[in-house]
A = this chain, B = another copy of it.
């Protein structure tokens, strides 16, 4: 169902404060995880169930670097080891909860759900966080009641912008003719393409003359489970060449998006969007994130509807077409990793 040996986004850094009662509980890849910060700010992720009788630690109390279960008072350190059991002198080794490797990077909290020995921070996707000085970014979050494979299919075929986002980022059917360059990577899929000579997107058409045309460049990297890093640049039409371009760059944007499956039926979607300082204008970044939120509600409507229909007819024989190659490649990578984990688990 889920690749366990992967970094999953558990939220934005700013979501986890140093507040006395700041205990976040998250459902990640089918597991309940509690997050908190130690007094020095170090974030911790533990199994959100006491080793005793599964009471949620997220209903507990922070004490020093540790977390106390508030059912019977068992105290756990940030490594998950139990350090005190009130009413009992002995504290056995077995009285530990699982601690998940956690890395905070680019303003995101990343939790490794698999074998801790394999938790290599180099596998965390490269991104830009909202605190990066060269970028002006906004962040947001949305919940979607769908299976994360449908999110993967959505994000690896951007021709859907023409239709799903006709009222926001679309405004042209040119997207449907995209011929993207797609390259399978070790843990994902890279996509690059131009949309040339297109009108402004629907949300920005009021800002330009009707005849204005643009060249858009998309550089997308998707990695498991479903992290989507987008470098999106807008040029005056006809001025931009292939490759690193010396065209008339109008705006240089960056979006970090991470879809974390909670379970088989829902996901948390964390995302940012914004522009490189110096290529923006007053109100532009606000427009981007506002439009992005509107667009993700459009996706949510489609993906929840599609998931509902899939549950009605799980044996429906799907029909492929040209633009399924992106989703096909990314799901191929995902399924390969799932198979490898299944083999490793059965051997171990």
Contact = CB atoms under 8 A, between A and B. Distances in A.
A177 B86 contact: yes
Contacts of A310: 54
Contact of A159 (B87, B94, B308): B87
A321 B82 CA distance: 13
B85 A321 contact: yes
A183 interface: no
A153 interface: yes
Interface in A205-237: none
A309 B54 contact: yes
Contacts of A247: none
Given A54-B309, A309-B55, A72 B163 contact: yes
A309 B59 contact: no
Interface residues of A, number: 51
Given A53-B306, A88-B322, A94-B319, A73 B176 contact: yes
Interface string A53-83: 1111011000000001111110000000000
A192 to B, nearest CB: 17
A173 interface: yes
A59 B167 CA distance: 13
Contact of A318 (B54, B306, B309, B312): B54
A306 B54 contact: yes
Interface string A297-312: 0000110011011101
A191 to B, nearest CB: 15
A284 interface: no
Nearest to A311: B54
Contacts of A305: 55-56, 58-59
A327 to B, nearest CB: 9
B87 A163 contact: no
Contacts of A322: 85, 87-88
Given A72-B323, A305-B56, A316 B49 contact: yes
Contacts of A70: 163-164, 166, 302
A159 B88 CA distance: 12
Contact of A306 (B71, B157, B164, B166): B71
A160 interface: yes
A86 B55 contact: no
A162 interface: yes
A69 B162 CA distance: 12
Contacts of A55: 302, 305-306, 309
B323 A51 contact: no
B52 A316 contact: no
A52 B318 contact: yes
Contact of A302 (B52, B71, B95, B163): B71
Contacts of A48: 309
What 3 A-B pairs are tightest by C-beta distance, nearest first?
Answer: A86-B176, A56-B305, A54-B309
Interface of A: 32, 48-49, 51-56, 58-59, 68-73, 85-88, 92, 94-95, 153, 157, 159-160, 162-164, 166, 173, 176-178, 301-302, 305-306, 308-310, 312-313, 316, 318-319, 321-323
Given A51-B319, A85-B322, A86-B163, 4 more contacts: A53-B318, A70-B166, A86-B162, A87-B177
